[in-house]
Amino acid sequence: MTAPEPISLVIVDSDVRTMRRLAQLLRDDGFVVYTAQDVRDARAVADEKPLDAALIDVRLPDGDGRVLADDWLARFPALHVIFVTIYPELIPLASAGARHTSMTKPVDYARLVSNLRSFAERRPR
């Protein structure tokens, strides 16, 4: 049995220090992680890298993370989005079959990794 391919994800958050710390933890746990501080950089990452998942803050310096997520969910049928914010009231409600979940900051790292690994088991091959 071969090991599953690692999850490739982007963290989109303007809080650079927190983003870098989270990215390093995820890399240490075997994930392929890219980072972006704003919508513009996030779009560039998505255009250049294959992504399985995205951790997106709702409030970004140059736009709304929910709009970015809507665009990506339309463009990338297998993408899993996790909204991460200190404003839980801004997170869209998940409908049946939704391809997104949410977490409030500070992120519960064990829950995040569990969510990503659960997604990895269900993702199309």
DSSP 64-119: EHHHHHHHHHHH-TT-EEEEEES-GGGSPPPPTT-SEEEEESSP-HHHHHHHHHHH
Contact 30, 38 (CB under 8 A): no
Which pLDDT score is estimated for 2? 57
- Residue 18 DSSP SS3: helix
Average pLDDT score over the chain:
89
Q: Which residue has the higher pLDDT, 3 or 120?
A: 120
The domain spans of the chain are: 8-122
Across the range 28-41, mean pLDDT stands at 98
Per-residue tokens: 76: 């990338």
Which pLDDT score is estimated for 95? 46
The upper half-sphere exposure of residue 39, i.e. CA atoms within 13 Å in the direction of its Cβ, equals 15
Q: What's this model's pTM, rounded to 2 decimal places?
A: 0.90
Question: What is the Cα–Cα distance from 106 to 18, expressed in whole angstroms?
Answer: 9
For the segment 45-103, what is each residue's pLDDT rounded down to a tens digit? 999 999 999 999 999 999 999 899 999 999 998 999 999 989 888 776 654 456 788 89
Asked whether the CA dihedral 55, 61, 63, 64 is positive or negative, the reply is positive
Model confidence at 119, pLDDT cuts 50, 70, 90, reads confident
**CATH 3.40.190.10, domain 8-122, yes or no:** no
